[in-house]
A = this chain, B = another copy of it.
Amino acid sequence: MIKVGIVGGTGYTGIELLRLLVLHPEVTVSVVTSRSDVGRRVDMLYPSMRGHMDQVFVTPDLDNLKACDVVFFATPNGIAMLLAEELLQLGIKVIDLSADFRIQDPVLWAKWYGQSHACPELISHAVYGLPEINRVLIQEASLVACPGCYPTATQLGFLPLLETGVVDSSSLIADVKSGVSGAGRVAQVTALMSETGESFSAYAVSGHRHLPEITQGLESVANQSVKLTFVPHLTPMVRGIHATLYARLVDESVDLQALFEKYYEEEVFVDVLAPDSYPKTSNVKGSNRCHLAVCRPQGGDQVVVLSVIDNLVKGAAGQAVQNMNLMLGLPEDQGLKLVGLYP
């Protein structure tokens, strides 16, 4: 059995990793760390894990982690970059769910994340863990930077359009709606049910940290500069992201449905719905799937792509496990054969 460790096991991506990994047939969760809950049983903090694991939280240090084959970081930004190098030197594979290794340019990273990067030399070794574009690189990687939730939903929707060059890459719009679990398990007034229940609002319109990440990803497939307007919104639900993406067609002869179906025909976790279907986040809740639809309202030159994921699964923990499977040579969907929890 492959031994995995989870650093930062008390947040929502941490518990979601546990949910997936305790049922993964090739893996045993041997270490779960938490600074705040050392010595406490994991299933005391997370009763959903009762009957599935009996570990206690330990401190996140090398001693506790060195016997692992793979270590996941489900930590706030700025933690993984402090520990990754030592783990890698021990031959441990590192899968980072935080933002530490997503941006290739450390200056850009520092600007958006408000701190200088602790190990800039490692960034270029990190592979951006979106399997649909980086599968081969991920298979050979020892350090994978898992994409953010917004970037996953947004890139999967735009990729077929940008790689084929059928749209104008200088005026893209991503209007994205997220459930509140994206805000994390952190005490804050803005994420209270009284603030977010029965209400809808945009936020960070002037600039969200996921913008440079998305732009970087889109430019790498477009092979040209990309200009994106990205507006995130908070939706009164717990899980789910719905990206509504807009682009202007430059090739009006293209069959968009065929383009999308072909682009993703080999992908097990990206699923192009039939024409005139609209994806619902509840259909992918708890699953690692992305449901896509592509439309061209009134036959005009504006393409609308609808892309839904579960932000905690394909947008975080599920994609991390998918990356782990690739890195370890396991079947890509092992432990990820999940049906959406509808209704």
Contacts and interface: CB of A to CB of B under 8 A. Distances in A.
Given A187-B189, A200-B308, A201-B281, 10 more contacts: A19-B339, A46-B283, A50-B283, A175-B244, A180-B192, A186-B189, A193-B195, A202-B242, A202-B306, A246-B246
Interface stretch (A61-69, A78-86, A286-294, A322-330): A286-294
A183 B297 CA distance: 22
A163 interface: no
A197 B200 contact: no
Interface stretch (A97-105, A111-119, A251-259, A268-276): A268-276
Contact of A197 (B12, B189, B237, B286): B237
A343 B195 contact: yes
Contacts of A274: 44
B239 A343 contact: yes
9 closest A-B pairs by beta carbon, nearest first, are A48-B340, A199-B282, A201-B280, A175-B175, A194-B343, A48-B342, A193-B193, A187-B187, A180-B193
A185 B343 CA distance: 10
Nearest to A173: B246
B277 A177 contact: no
Interface of A: 12, 15, 18-19, 22-23, 44, 46-52, 171, 173, 175, 177, 179-181, 183, 185-189, 191-203, 205-207, 227, 229-231, 233, 235-240, 242, 244, 246, 248, 268, 271, 273-274, 276-287, 289, 291, 295, 297-298, 300, 302, 304, 306, 308, 337, 339-343
Contact of A173 (B189, B200, B302, B342): B302
B268 A51 contact: yes
A343 B238 contact: yes
**Residue among A199, A244, A289 having the largest count of chain B Cβ atoms under 10 Å:** A199
Identical copies of this chain, number: 4
Contacts of A19: 339, 341-342
Given A22-B339, A343-B239, A199 B280 contact: yes
Contact of A194 (B191, B202, B279, B339): B191
Contacts of A295: 205-206
Nearest to A192: B191
Contacts of A233: 177, 242, 244
23 contacts: A19-B342, A46-B283, A47-B279, A51-B268, A52-B337, A173-B246, A188-B192, A193-B193, A193-B196, A193-B236, A193-B238, A194-B343, A197-B236, A198-B237, A198-B240, A202-B278, A206-B276, A206-B298, A229-B304, A231-B244, A231-B297, A235-B235, A286-B341
